[in-house]
């Protein structure tokens, strides 16, 4: 929703069921998931609040990093011995048991580095939902940030107030970025 009023409904941490009910009521009034954000100081699963599952690209990036790490390790272990063979007595060109350690370690290093870069990339990617913050969220409150159409604003506020929400007015909702 491009235009509308951004409001923040605050619930105490023991009002988790009321926060989930607030999201259900917002859906009933025609407010889409894109116009609702949940802000909390504690980790809450999407299923607890009845929200759609949020997908992340980090697992795919981690798998790609593991594959890249394995290919680099394979080249280091077997490719260098093929390019620059050194014969030592009756030993094989590439001893497999010791090569497995190098393969494993560099594969895991590739996965670790790519996961870190993937998490950083996900953090820097902008969110397109409503944005805002209230200091009470850091002290245990759960915030349901929503954008409501101007004509439904009073009705939404009264329905959420019935659940025990403290509605924070727009000037008090702090923007996270300009």
Residue 154, exposed/middle/buried by CB under 10 A (0-12, 13-18, 19+)? exposed
* Domain shared by 120 and 151, yes or no: no
Supply the CATH number for residue 36's domain: 3.30.70
> Helices 58-74 and 96-124: crossing angle, nearest 10°?
150
* Domain shared by 48 and 62, yes or no: no
Give the pLDDT confidence score for residue 164 in this predicted structure.
77
Q: In the chain, how many domains are there?
A: 2
Residue 171 pLDDT class (50, 70, 90 cuts): very low
**Residue 99, in any domain of the structure:** yes
**Residue 71, in any domain of the structure:** yes
* Domain shared by 72 and 116, yes or no: yes
Q: Do 106 and 79 meet the contact criterion of CB atoms below 8 Å apart?
A: no
Strand order from edge to edge, sheet including 166-168: 36-40, 142-148, 5-11, 166-168
Helix (H, G, I), strand (E, B) or coil at 117: helix
Is the pLDDT at 128 greater than 50? The verdict is: yes
Question: Tell me: the pLDDT tens digits for 101-122?
Answer: 999 999 999 999 999 999 999 8
**Residue 178, in any domain of the structure:** no
Q: Which of 5, 38, 48 is nearest to 153 (CA)?
A: 5
Which of the 8 DSSP states describes residue 149? Answer: -
**Residue 139, in any domain of the structure:** yes
* Domain shared by 34 and 22, yes or no: yes
* Domain shared by 97 and 148, yes or no: no
Q: Give the position of tokens 């790490």.
A: 69
Q: Enumerate residues 6+ apart whose C-beta is below 8 A from 79.
A: none
Q: How far apart are CA 61 and CA 7, in angstroms?
A: 35
Domain that holds residue 85: 58-124
* Domain shared by 41 and 64, yes or no: no
* Domain shared by 48 and 103, yes or no: no
* Domain shared by 72 and 115, yes or no: yes
* Domain shared by 82 and 120, yes or no: yes
Query: Which of 86, 104, 124 corresponds to the end of one domain?
Result: 124
Q: How far apart are CA 130 and CA 107, in angstroms?
A: 39
Percent of the chain with pLDDT over 70: 81
Give the pLDDT confidence score for residue 95 in this predicted structure.
83
Q: For the full predicted model, state whether its pTM sits above 0.75.
A: no
* Domain shared by 11 and 28, yes or no: yes
Which of the 8 DSSP states describes residue 162? Answer: T
Q: Which of 110, 118, 145 is nearest to 38 (CA)?
A: 145
**Residue 177, in any domain of the structure:** no
* Domain shared by 70 and 106, yes or no: yes
Question: Tell me: the pLDDT tens digits for 40-79?
Answer: 777 666 666 666 666 778 999 999 999 999 999 999 999 9
């Amino acid at each position: 929703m491009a235009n509308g009023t951004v409001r923040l409904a605050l619930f105490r941490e023991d009002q988790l069921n009321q926060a989930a009910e607030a999201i259900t009521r917002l859906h009933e009034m025609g407010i889409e998931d894109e116009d609702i954000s949940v802000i909390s100081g504690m980790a809450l699963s999407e299923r607890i609040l009845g929200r759609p599952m949020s997908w992340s690209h980090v697992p795919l990036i981690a798998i790609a990093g593991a594959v890249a790490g394995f290919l680099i390790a394979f080249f280091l272990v077997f490719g260098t011995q093929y390019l620059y063979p050194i014969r030592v007595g009756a030993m094989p060109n590439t001893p497999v048991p010791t090569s497995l350690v190098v393969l494993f370690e560099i594969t895991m290093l590739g996965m670790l580095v790519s996961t870190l870069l993937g998490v950083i990339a996900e953090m820097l990617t902008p969110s397109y939902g409503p944005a805002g913050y209230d200091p009470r969220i850091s002290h245990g409150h759960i915030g349901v940030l929503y954008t409501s159409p101007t004509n439904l604003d009073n009705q939404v506020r009264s329905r959420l107030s019935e659940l025990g929400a403290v509605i924070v007015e727009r000037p008090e909702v702090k923007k996270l970025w300009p």
